[in-house]
Amino acid sequence: MRTLLTLIACCCAFATAASANEAREPASAKAAASTVKTKGTPAAGAKSEHGVSVGGVPLKQIAAAAAEKGESEPASAGRKASASAPSAREREAEAEADLSAKIAARLALMRANQQARVAAAAKAKKAAAVVEAAPKVYSHHWSYEGENGPANWGKINPEWAKCSTGNRQSPIDVRDGMKVELEQITFDYHPSSFNVTDNGHTVQVMLGGGNFITVQNRMYELIQFHFHRPSEERINGKGYEMVMHLVHKDGEGKLAVIALLLERGRAQPVIQTVWNNLPLEKLDTMAPSSVIDPIDLIPARRDYYTFMGSLTTPPCSEGVLWLVMKEPVQASPAQMALFARLYPMNARPIQPGSGRIIKESN
C-alpha cells in the first residue's frame, strides 16, 4: 500500500510539470505535439479515453500493477519464513532426541547411585565383620528365668553390674568351713506389727522396729524377712525345699542376713500367720491388726556358718555378713505347697566361692 501511494504521488508531480512546460511552449510546438499525440503514444500526464496516463500507460493500470506487487510481497515473505522455519516432523524429531538425551542422563545417574550404594554396603559389611555386635538391651525388670534371668542381671541395669562382676556373690555351697569357737548370736526380738507384700519375686514381711541381733560386736535391726524356693544356700552340696532370709541393718547401713533352712515337718506358727494374711493380688500389701514374734522362727540350737557375701537379688551388693543356721526349721507340707503355688522357683543359682573364708561353730 505504501508503494502504491508513492507511485501515485510521483505521477501527480510528473503531470504538474508537464502542464507547466506545455504552457511555455510556442503555439507551433503545441500544434506539432498535438499532431504527434494524435498519431503516436499519448504523452506522460495526457488524458486518454481511459483517463490520465504516464508514459502512455494508463494510471489505473499502473495502480493495479502496484497493488498486485504489494499483495505478492507478504506471500513471498511467508514462503521465505516457511522455508526457514522447521517442519512439524523436524520439531518432533528434535523433541524425541531431547527426551532420549534426558532419559540417558537419568539412567546414568541411577547407575552411579546404585554403584555408590553397593560400594557403601560392601564397606559397611566389611566394617561389621571386625566390630563386635552392640550389647543387647534388656528390660529393667528382672526375673529368675529367661532373658531377664540371673545370668543377665548385670546387663539389665548398670547399677547391678556386681551381679556379673562381683567376686563375693551369694548364694554359695557352704562347705569346708573352718570350725572355730564362734560367739553366739544374741537375739533381742519381740512381738511386732507387720505387713505382708507379694512383690512379684517373693512374699516379703516387713516388721515394726525394735528387733535386734548382736554379733561380732555389732548390733543389727531386723527389717524384713522373705522366702525362696528351693533353698538358695546348700550345705556340703545338700539343698533344702525352702529357705527364709531375715535381713538386718546396722546404723551404718551394713547388712547381716540370717538364713533359716526349711524342711518338711510340723506346721510353723509364724509362717502360718503370714500365709493367713497374703494379699489377693501381686504388688498389694496386707497390714493386719495382729502381731508376730520373730523369735518363734529361730531354732533351739543356734550354731551357724558365717562368711561374707552379697544380696542374692539385684543389685547384688557385696559386703553382706551371712549367718546360716545349722539346724533347719520345720514347716508343714501344706505350708510349703502353698508357697510353691505362688513361686515354684525363685532361687538364684549357686555362685563361685572364690576362695572366701567360711567359719562354722564347733
Question: Given its phi and psi angles, is residue 213 left (phi above 0), alpha (psi -120 to 50 degrees) or beta?
Answer: beta
Largest CA distance in the chain: 184
pLDDT at residue 4 in the model: 41
Name the residue among 193, 196, 190 with its Cα closest to residue 276. 196
Return the amino acid letter for 28: S
Peptide bond into 315 cis (omega under 30): yes
Q: d(Cα 257, Cα 245) in Å, to the nearest integer?
A: 6
Q: Can you tell me whether residue 347 is helix, strand or coil?
A: coil
Q: Is-contact 271 331, C-beta < 8 A?
A: yes
- Note the pLDDT tens digit of each residue in 174-208: 999 999 999 999 999 999 999 999 999 999 999 99
- Note the pLDDT tens digit of each residue in 77-121: 545 545 556 788 888 888 888 888 889 888 888 888 888 888 877
In CATH terms, the superfamily for domain 169-361 is: Alpha carbonic anhydrase (3.10.200.10)
Q: Can you tell me whether residue 293 is helix, strand or coil?
A: coil
Look up residue 60 and give its three cell numbers: 489505473
Q: Give pTM, 2 decimals.
A: 0.64
Q: Can you tell me whether residue 184 is helix, strand or coil?
A: coil
Half-sphere exposure of 277 (CA within 13 A, CB side): 21
Name the residue among 67, 89, 98 with its Cα closest to residue 1. 67
Domain with CATH 3.10.200.10 in the chain: 169-361
Q: d(Cα 132, Cα 127) in Å, to the nearest integer?
A: 10
State percent of the chain over pLDDT 90.
60
- Note the pLDDT tens digit of each residue in 234-288: 999 999 999 999 999 999 999 999 999 999 999 999 999 999 999 999 999 999 9
pLDDT at residue 21 in the model: 45
Q: What are phi and psi of 266, to 5 degrees?
A: -80, 160
b/e for 308-345, b at 16 or more Cβ within 10 A? ebbbbbbbbeeebbbbbbbebbebeeebbebbeeebee
Write down the mean pLDDT value for the chain. Answer: 82
Cell 497374703, residue located: 278
Q: What are phi and psi of 292, to 5 degrees?
A: -130, 155
Residues 136-159, mean pLDDT to the nearest whole number: 87
Q: Can you tell me whether residue 203 is helix, strand or coil?
A: strand
pLDDT at residue 110 in the model: 87
pLDDT at residue 25 in the model: 43
